[in-house]
Amino acid sequence: MKQITHINLGGHPVTIDVDAFELLSRYLDSLEAHFADSPGKDEIMSDIETRLAELFKEHIHPRTIVSLPDVKAAIDIMGTPDMFGAETFFDRDEAPKSDLHTHAGPRPGRKLFRDPDNKVIAGVCSGLAAYFGLQDPIWIRLLFVVTTLIGMASIPVYILLWIIMPVPKTAADKLAMRGEPVNVQKIADTIISQIESLSEKIDQTFSNKKEDNFHP
């Protein structure tokens, strides 16, 4: 005799016994932790839950209660986080194409970011220059140097800005930093330029690895 419980898995009602429920909970927790930084986490989780419910349905038929082997089989099909990490395009610390929806719209105005592509120390001055629409960050840098020389507390201010100004992570962020209009086409262009290194990457893989795992 085993206790059973009813759960809502991605909108599907599922009857599951306690052991299976325990394993499923742990599995979902591990996925949740894996996707914690992804902006689309909730959506990914709900899609995966829906799919798991479908897999259960296929697997238990004609039974009605999900038990341990059913959950194990579904996990085998869905895979564990370390398995799908290897197949995705961006590494976890590379810029994901995220947050685009929050920047959607014709001209959201400039946003204050540090500019890591154009930095002397931390990109604070060039970020400020971009924010104020200056072509050259040299004036902001000079301002910091001069105010420091006349005894003002510019260095702590710089450090404070260093801490509070974020680094642009996405294509949309970089456009927002320069105050360029953020629209889908612009973002697509920016992403395409990021993908342009794709050919090189594949090229390298071809020349570096004697045997590739691509099925002809």
With helix as H, strand as E and coil as C, how does 163-206 read? HHCCCCCCHHHHHHHHCCCCCHHHHHHHHHHHHCHHHHHHHHHH
Is residue 15 within 8 Å of residue 6, measured between CB atoms?
A: yes
Q: Three-class SS of residue 73?
A: helix
Note whether 4 binds other proteins by CB under 8 A: no
Note whether 181 binds other proteins by CB under 8 A: no
Is residue 111 within 8 Å of residue 173, measured between CB atoms?
A: yes
Note whether 101 binds other proteins by CB under 8 A: yes
Count residues binding other proteins (CB under 8 A): 53
Note whether 212 binds other proteins by CB under 8 A: yes
Note whether 97 binds other proteins by CB under 8 A: yes
Site stretch for other proteins (CB under 8 A), options 8-16, 125-133, 141-149, 173-181: 8-16
Q: Which of 83, 149, 150, 163 is the binder for other proteins (CB under 8 A)?
A: 83
Q: Left (φ > 0), alpha (ψ -120 to 50) or beta: where does 133 sit?
A: left
Is residue 52 within 8 Å of residue 78, measured between CB atoms?
A: yes
Note whether 206 binds other proteins by CB under 8 A: yes
Please, which residue, 35 or 158, has the CB nearer to other proteins?
A: 35
Note whether 77 binds other proteins by CB under 8 A: yes
Using CA atoms, how far apart are residues 67 and 21, in angstroms rounded to an integer?
8
- Tell me which amino acid residue 107 is: R
Measured from the Cβ of residue 128, the count of other Cβ atoms closer than 10 Å reads 22
Nearest approach, Cβ of 96 to other proteins (angstroms)?
6
Q: Which of 5, 25, 118, 205 is the binder for other proteins (CB under 8 A)?
A: 205
Please, which residue, 124 or 176, has the CB nearer to other proteins?
A: 176
- Tell me which amino acid residue 70 is: D
Nearest approach, Cβ of 57 to other proteins (angstroms)?
8
Site stretch for other proteins (CB under 8 A), options 32-40, 130-138, 141-149, 155-163: 32-40
Q: In this structure, what token pair is assigned to residue 187?
A: 């973002």
Q: Give residue 149's Cα distance to chain centre.
A: 42
Interface residues with other proteins (CB under 8 A)? 10-12, 31, 35, 38-40, 43-44, 47-48, 50-51, 53-54, 77-81, 83-84, 87-90, 96-101, 184-185, 187-188, 191-192, 195-196, 198-199, 201-203, 205-206, 209, 212-215
